[in-house]
Structure 1
Amino acid sequence: MAAAINTPTPEIGTTDQTDDEHDKKCIFCKIVKGEMGTELLHDGSLLTDETVSCFRDIHPGAPHHYLDVPRKYVGNCKSLGKEHVPLVEKLVETGKEILQKNNVTDLNGVRFGFHWPPFCSVTHPHLHVLAPVSQMGFMSRVVYRLNLYWFITLLQKLNSMS
């Protein structure tokens, strides 16, 4: 009983990472590990590049709404620094590949971005890929609106990393 009293409790917001750099409680870590039954549109574990996975958003804001995620847990999008620029570039590259596989060729009608904490429901960094923007509904245009503090574009994030 004394051991339980003297055992420190985890701080709010700490992770429960395993040895393979996944957070046991993170839903996106569970998805990329194949524990949730979610269809992976791009599964880095099957490729020579094991950095990124992609799957459909469960609440799509556009006809094509994908989430590109790092396979390893690295905190939230605020945690991404200069050393993560190649990872963010790979997230974008993967998003473009998935769009092309789904016959979306006009990249002018695509929105790439991150929800800025605390305005994200999952802290694992995830790049939203939405297309075509012209077919987004009213609420999606609010939730994924450019140049506001809750949703930052890819360019804004890359600029903050350099």
Structure 2
Amino acid sequence: MHDPNCVFCKIIAGTIPSNKLFEDDEVLAFHDINPAAPVHFLLVPKRHIATLAAVEPGDQSLLGKMMILVPQLAERQGCGDGFKSVINTGPNGGQEVYHLHIHVLGGPRPWKRATI
């Protein structure tokens, strides 16, 4: 399921280019276009899920897969000594794009922005 108005769905479909880090049949990881840290990438499910609050019990394996991938991909990007992972949810949670995504940030501190 895709939302034709969702920027991340367009990235997944390839109609908006991205700098991909990882892709399989369920997820896509790509560099953030406005990085807040030396390493800043996003991990998104290919299926459109608007927010973390919208996940259902059937999404358990997908969410588990994403959480397993986060440290693996962070390590590949040189974040062996630590990284930050963030899921913003809803308007008061700072979510800007309504497609579930995990921000992964790392690299030498201080970063340009303290929060995501």
> What 5-or-longer segments of structure 2 have no aligned partner?
none
* Aligned-residue CA RMSD (Å): 1.7
In structure 2, the residue corresponding to 1:122 is in which secondary structure? coil
Amino acid at match of 1:24: P
Higher relative contact order (CA 8 A, sep 6+): 2
Q: How high is the TM-score relative to the length of structure 1?
A: 0.64
Q: Are the aligned partners of 2:26 and 2:47 in contact in 1 as well (CA < 8 Å)? A: yes
State the identity as a percent. 27
Amino acid at match of 2:16: M
Question: Is 1:56–2:31 an aligned residue pair?
Answer: yes
Structure with the greater alpha carbon radius of gyration: 1
- Looking at structure 2, the residues matched to 133 and 22 of structure 1 have their Cα atoms a distance apart, in angstroms, of 36
Question: Is 1:115–2:88 an aligned residue pair?
Answer: yes
Counterpart in the other structure of 1:94: 69
Counterpart in the other structure of 2:43: 68
- Looking at structure 2, the residues matched to 54 and 126 of structure 1 have their Cα atoms a distance apart, in angstroms, of 9
How is 1:32-51 mapped onto 2 (pairs within 5 angstroms)? 32-44=12-24, 50-51=25-26
> What 5-or-longer segments of structure 1 have no aligned partner?
1-20, 45-49, 145-162
Give the number of aligned pairs: 114
Indicate the structure with greater strand content: 2
CA-to-aligned-CA distance 1:48-92 (integer Å, 9 cap, x gap):
xx1110001111111111100000102212112333232222222
Q: Which runs of 4+ in 1 moved over 4 A?
A: none
* Range moving further from structure 2, 92-101 or 67-76: 92-101
Counterpart in the other structure of 2:10: 30
Q: How high is the TM-score relative to the length of structure 2?
A: 0.86
Indicate the structure with greater helix content: 1
Q: How much does 1:93 deviate?
A: 2.3
